Chain A
């Protein structure tokens, strides 16, 4: 059995890569992918704890996190499409106003 700390360390590394991606990338779609990366790192933690505590609740929460991620992706990509239509760019630095 692989120890719990290995899973937690991998999850931490993936989460950190996601954070760094949000800091260094300026493309809105890639920023969304970095957020998905962070959500997945958290999912790994939830499943690992679920296994090591012998409780299925962690896996249920992974299910709910996935649903929220799907909803977030749908709305976020729609926002990106309408942003691209009005501004002709995906750079988040150039989209600094809520007004069209």
Chain B
């Protein structure tokens, strides 16, 4: 009896988080102002963290909140605020017809997934592996130590690359790039120019 009650609670938990996540996901794609999309995405991420808890992945749930809903979404909101985007109707709407393609695409993908799930059936749950820091760290620093190191190198490259991309160029530098672009017919000149820049 007690077990039955527990099962009911888990199901309700799942249904509540799942429906909220789907509604928020629609909110992400249907809003015109990106800041509301960002709020919708934060709700989706928090719902998924709750679902990870039902799958006994506590560490992943915590990381989901800290890294995704915290760090990555702050980055998104920061960029939205920085660019101060107006709500605008696009002047060139070349992809107008794609909006009508989206609905059949949605239905086809859902139907396909449901067909696959029907043939698969439900496997019984295996003995529970707790998603604690210990159990994750054991795998990460033994079997998967190479992918782990690869991701650290990737993060380093991403930091350097994004700083290089988002850096505001000084006036002289922008002028010299402009000059190089206008003299685009002679590639040797551009090379000289950029070399000069490097030395300077």
Contacts and interface: CB of A to CB of B under 8 A. Distances in A.
Given A30-B28, A93-B95, A4 B122 contact: yes
A98 interface: no
B109 A19 contact: yes
B129 A55 contact: yes
Interface in A1-47: 1-10, 12-21, 23-27, 29-30, 32-34, 36-37, 40, 43-44, 47
Tell me what chain B mostly uses at the interface: helix, strand, loop, or mixed.
Answer: helix
Interface string B129-154: 10100011011100110011001001
Interface residues of B, number: 89
B198 interface: no
Contacts of B56: 51
B55 A14 contact: no
Interface string B3-41: 000010011001000100110011011010010011001
Given A14-B21, A84-B83, A60 B102 contact: no
Tell me what chain A mostly uses at the interface: helix, strand, loop, or mixed.
Answer: helix
A66 to B, nearest CB: 6
Nearest to A21: B29
A97 interface: no
B122 A3 contact: yes
A54 B127 contact: yes
B1 interface: no
Given A17-B29, A20-B106, A77-B75, A64 B93 contact: no
The listed residue with most A CB atoms (<10 A of its CB), out of B25, B54, B72, B80, is: B25
Given A1-B125, A91-B90, A93-B95, 7 more contacts: A29-B79, A33-B34, A33-B41, A50-B55, A54-B128, A63-B60, A78-B166
Please provide the 6 A-B residue pairs with the shortest distance between their CB atoms, ordered closest to farther: A54-B126, A21-B29, A71-B158, A78-B162, A12-B113, A78-B165
20 contacts: A2-B54, A4-B122, A6-B18, A8-B113, A16-B105, A18-B29, A23-B98, A24-B98, A33-B38, A36-B68, A37-B28, A47-B131, A56-B138, A56-B139, A60-B139, A63-B63, A70-B155, A70-B158, A75-B161, A80-B83
